[in-house]
Amino acid sequence: MTRKLGWFLAGGLLVALLLAGVVSNFASGSPDGLDATAREGCTFGADGEITGGTCMLQREEGHQMADSPLADYGIKGIDNPYLSTGLAGVAGVLITFGLGAGGFWLVRRREQKAA
């Protein structure tokens, strides 16, 4: 790997870690497009429970990974929501970077064997 490429990758990883660890805490808590569409047609009480109407959200089921350590954009067991969200973002970036780097390493290794 060339020196310039190494610095570029390190800089990109640093920016991604900064965004995931810090800026993710400022993301909007409002429903996104899919959530807003799923809520159309229903009325909601002050606690967010459906009180009437008909909408897709009424057929919502629990997610299979709801009890996983990184569920709900946080780390289970960390009480500080800002720290939990930031660390979950950093963990996600590192896992994604590791998987991507491993995939590229395998492809490069296969190409070197073929040559």
pLDDT tens-digit map of 81-107: 999 999 999 999 999 999 999 999 999
Cβ neighbours for 104, distance < 8 A, ≥ 6 positions apart = none
Number of structural domains (the chain) is 1
Please state the pTM of the whole predicted model: 0.71
pLDDT band, very low/low/confident/very high, at 1 (cuts 50, 70, 90): low
DSSP state string for 18-29? HHHHTGGGGS--
Residue-range definition of the domain harbouring residue 8:
3-114
Cβ neighbours for 92, distance < 8 A, ≥ 6 positions apart = 20, 70
Distance of CA 20 to CAs 56, 58, 84, 104, Å?
31, 32, 11, 23
Identify the residue whose tokens are 């590192």.
94
